[in-house]
Amino acid sequence: MPRFSANLSFLFTEVPFLDRFGEAAQAGFRAVEFAFGYDFQVREIAARVAQHKLDVVLINAPAGSWEAGDRGLASLPGREHEFAASVVTALRFAQALRCPRIHVMAGVLPEGADDAERARRLRTYKRNVRFACQEAAVQNVAIMIEPINPRDVPRYLLNTQGEAHAIREEIGIANLRVQMDLYHAQIVEGDLETKIRRWLPHIGHFQVAGVPGRCEPNVGEVNYGYLFKLIDELKYDGYVGCEYRPAQTTQAGLGWLYKLIDRRP
């Protein structure tokens, strides 16, 4: 059975952020991930990680002004210096937390963007992702790019697995990997088993949630039990991030995970 990490941006939100590390450990998680912890001193986060004997397996780089509508900086022309600074900040956190993966969000296209504008932003994106990979390689950190469905994030630059892997191949740097969120992938394109089999060697992290409601993964149209067995059989050695919104409390909804653990041989 795969190893699971608790995404603390989604789970255990019943308590303040720093207290979620203890809640995750008490619930049985040995690994955590989160999008943005930059409102806190990294030493505060590192202390909670050490206290509860957790591994941090994924963080996001700063994504710009979320309140103003930013969903990443990597594809935004004219903000290259801001993106570079975000990578430096993320690497500082990754080093302190011994985190081996950083997700850099692509950003959204402007309303009404034509093909020429999309192409311009893709060029910016590739340059910035290449820069991030080169900087991260010094720390032996992988840079993750993730397709996101346009229903949750309208006009997001990257929507399909094929787009992400084409960019990965074009950039051609070993520490660039694709983050496959099966929730997003099912909404956009489906055919999950085929895509997992095709691209598993280049997938650096999985995430899961029920489709369509983004709640616990045992609810909805995706047969996650089947997919977990598949990636286990294919010898995936990374983590599966639990990035879903609990229908009630986090703890009340963890029965799906405990049942899986009980079935381990």
Domain count, the chain: 1
Could you tell me the mean pLDDT of each successive run of 10 residues in the chain, 265 residues long? 94 98 97 96 98 98 93 97 98 98 97 96 98 98 98 97 98 98 98 98 98 96 96 96 97 93 57
In sequence order, which residues have a C-beta less than 8 Å from that of residue 106 and are 6 or more positions away?
71, 72, 74, 75, 125, 145, 156, 157, 158
Q: What is the CATH number of the domain that holds 17?
A: 3.20.20.150
Q: Is the dihedral of CA 253, 257, 260, 265 positive or negative?
A: negative
Determine the pLDDT at residue 79: 97
pTM for this entry: 0.96
Please count the residues of the chain.
Answer: 265
pLDDT of residue 91: 98
Residue 1's pLDDT is 76
Q: Catalytic residues, which ones?
A: 146, 243
Residue 210: which domain range? 3-262
Query: Radius of gyration of the chain from Cα atoms?
Result: 18
- Could you tell me which residues are beta bridge partners of residue 241? 5, 207
